[in-house]
Structure 1
């Protein structure tokens, strides 16, 4: 099992309710889920950070890359997939470092 699969299983195990509610919100708001489901996204993130040790350590280790990606996404909303490739790559590399 890969580290990603293991992490997903841990999040599902500890945060199943939050994931279910977030998924339901996305399904009910297909055109504007990024706005209407922010609270659900935050609940999943908070639960995962508190209950899945690997995620907490990764967030601490990669905080600079996470912040850079978030800034880029905000600055280039609507075009982030093209404009933030470098920031995304740096975040990917950090999260996959041993």
Structure 2
């Protein structure tokens, strides 16, 4: 699978801290396994913004009743399907992406 970007913006070098909280404006159905499904109204924790292509894609996890008892997973989604509700930590650290950023089974 091709890389979606060569760089990403994060709060830290490991992209381990959420940079913002957003709410889904609409449903998003994944194109492939690199992406996560998002349902309108869900809360999304954003951990990275892919730098190429004008921040078109973000990386985050969805919290809420859709996952019920399942563990949430990180995945990509278009930034256009969410609206920022809370800024948490500035995304000031530029990190190179690697194949594991876009790897899935």
Higher relative contact order, chain-length normalized (CA < 8 Å, sep 6+) = 2
Q: Higher helix fraction: Structure 1 or Structure 2?
A: 1
TM-score range, shorter-chain basis?
under 0.3
Structure having the higher strand fraction is 2
